[in-house]
A and B are shown apart, each in its own frame.
Chain A
């Protein structure tokens, strides 16, 4: 079959958001595990930090409600379930690019989470397969995407989300700089979808001398630029 390397705007958008949402699933689960660990020794309601930084839309009255909501509440945009469903929805639009095998990992994750929600499973370790399948998904998609441009767009989405989350959770400069370097590797391959002006701003802000996430104005500016960097 005669094929093209051309990527439509519709697909570019799906690739970018697939990358973002799937990375969000992985990081949110990681953060939830850390949060639960803290709650063991501290207050059961000691979740507000996570809740606030993720711009969570859920309203929860207890640690238990929070746990359940952050895992399975599809109406809460910060929940693992919401991100996983959105990742899967975008992946569905890309079946012929990523292939059914890659898509299947996301389908299995959604199915498992629905089962866990059904039986009100509160232990985050029950979702360990979601993390395993997420990693399997990345490996599978990277191997199967025949169109390199498609792969780069998806990886740009993944790296944007990674950097966004590191900044939200005040990770140190070294981690943020490493994540930004990783993002730039892909941006160089797809320069036409990058806003040059915003990239220049980020280059001047993500340097050791400037880096101060305690400065709310600086942090907000960084987050805004990261989220406006790519035009898809």
Chain B
């Protein structure tokens, strides 16, 4: 593979100017104050050879298909629990399990319409899944707009390299939304508003898909149907809501009563099959860090296939054997609190002082369901430009899988990197940057 990216690297200041020009930002709340900042972009792309991608694509499609089947099963027949593959404690004690969703059948039986699967590549070239994000995975807009800009700034780079198009993500989204809409009305993107950390993404997707961007208060329910209201009191039927509002805020009459972000009675309309919610409510039960352990088993159970993608070696202190291993080896493991997200609640045993280690050991003993432990994967560092220097930093890949009538894997992804040389944490909320992800055509 002969990759030529010099022009792109030389044009990095111009790329960043364009990012500023298009308002490519994300918001962060620090000490209760909202700040918007540019998402640091690194011009050197992550490059995934076609052969690697073929493997990832097949594995991602398989994994998300199994996860969707699991979600259907959990809220309907519960076969996987009855058959003892997943212990019921892990399902019903999960914060993401929503009893209100029992028996609800979403359009096309799809729950995770947009799945963001976080992977890392080990130094030996082996890919591992670190996390499944099935609620409101964000981030696809950044490589999309980065590609739009880098193609402007350095067209030569793209004539010299056979990179798969990634701007078709909007088309994938729009097609899936129309399939879920099923001719009922219009498709909308519901944003919590301007001060949401991913607001740029909400508005950019609306622009690129042609969906209507709606704010809390714009939608209402009448006769179990959802409508978008206009200034003249007129209304139009809504058939599909790509909601960027968390489950618990979606319907104040059923969930968090103080929520001003949701739509009163939307769950009634959803239950009646009059509106599609993207993603479905209740998906949190399948992307729970504890449930993650069981995903390879789900693949075998539902699809009768061997899992293509591997999990990072994971231990559940809930099981006595695993707990013993974790307690003996806690210093070399990474311990994750299953109820946290966004890179929070993740500690490396090797970084803890004696007292902290003792406290954590006690917590693992007393609340085993709360934790998972993983071997630290020595994942591949990627080249990052820091001033005029090239440095090496940890990076992951969030791959996006869009499920409508078919399951489609987007030929790109969000590569996030840590800007701290000693850190494995790549989350943007903790100062990480991003790269474009090039999937090579040949």
Complex contact A1–B230 (CB within 8 A) = no
Chain B residues closer than 8 Å to A192, beta-carbon distance = 231-232
In the complex, whether B300 has a CB less than 8 A from a CB of chain A is no
Interface hits, B191-249 → A, CB 8 Å:
194, 199, 203-204, 206-207, 209-215, 217-218, 228-232, 234-236, 239
Complex contact A107–B21 (CB within 8 A) = yes
Complex contact B236–A1 (CB within 8 A) = no
Distance in angstroms from A92 CB to nearest chain B CB is 6
- Known contacts being A3-B212, A10-B217, A193-B231, is A96 close to B23, with CB within 8 Å? no
User: How far is B193's CA from A92's CA once the two chains are assembled, in angstroms?
Assistant: 10
Complex contact B177–A100 (CB within 8 A) = no
- Known contacts being A1-B187, A103-B23, is A232 close to B231, with CB within 8 Å? yes
Distance in angstroms from B192 CB to nearest chain A CB is 13
In the complex, whether A145 has a CB less than 8 A from a CB of chain B is no
Complex contact A3–B23 (CB within 8 A) = no
Distance in angstroms from A211 CB to nearest chain B CB is 32
Residue from the list A8, A99, A193 in contact with B228, Cβ < 8 A = A8
Chain B residues closer than 8 Å to A7, beta-carbon distance = 230-231
In the complex, whether B325 has a CB less than 8 A from a CB of chain A is no
From DSSP, what is the main secondary structure of chain B's interface residues?
Answer: mixed
Chain A residues closer than 8 Å to B194, beta-carbon distance = 89, 92-93
Chain B's interface size range is 35 or more
Chain B residues closer than 8 Å to A232, beta-carbon distance = 231
- Known contacts being A92-B194, A96-B207, A104-B22, is A2 close to B217, with CB within 8 Å? no
Residue from the list B178, B206, B232 in contact with A2, Cβ < 8 A = B178
In the complex, whether B407 has a CB less than 8 A from a CB of chain A is no
Complex contact B231–A1 (CB within 8 A) = no
- Known contacts being A8-B214, A10-B218, A96-B206, is A2 close to B229, with CB within 8 Å? no
Q: Which of A93, A95, A232 has the most CB of B within 10 A?
A: A95
Distance in angstroms from B207 CB to nearest chain A CB is 4
Q: Which of A100, A193, A232 has the most CB of B within 10 A?
A: A100
- Known contacts being A6-B236, A95-B206, is A1 close to B229, with CB within 8 Å? no
Complex contact B23–A8 (CB within 8 A) = no
In the complex, whether B185 has a CB less than 8 A from a CB of chain A is yes
Complex contact B204–A100 (CB within 8 A) = yes
Q: Which of B206, B229, B231 has the most CB of A within 10 A?
A: B231
Distance in angstroms from A108 CB to nearest chain B CB is 6
In the complex, whether B86 has a CB less than 8 A from a CB of chain A is no
Complex contact B23–A107 (CB within 8 A) = yes
Distance in angstroms from B245 CB to nearest chain A CB is 15
User: How far is B233's CA from A193's CA once the two chains are assembled, in angstroms?
Assistant: 12
Complex contact B204–A2 (CB within 8 A) = no
Chain B residues closer than 8 Å to A100, beta-carbon distance = 22-23, 204, 207
Distance in angstroms from B193 CB to nearest chain A CB is 8
User: How far is B230's CA from A93's CA once the two chains are assembled, in angstroms?
Assistant: 16
Complex contact B228–A108 (CB within 8 A) = no
Sample of 5 further A-B pairs with CB below 8 A, known A95-B203, A100-B22, A104-B23: A2-B181, A4-B228, A96-B211, A107-B20, A193-B231
Can you list 26 A-B pairs with a CB-CB distance of less than 8 A?
A: A1-B187, A1-B210, A2-B178, A2-B181, A2-B185, A2-B187, A3-B186, A6-B229, A6-B234, A6-B236, A8-B214, A9-B230, A89-B194, A92-B194, A92-B199, A92-B203, A93-B215, A95-B23, A95-B206, A95-B207, A96-B203, A96-B210, A96-B212, A103-B23, A108-B20, A192-B231
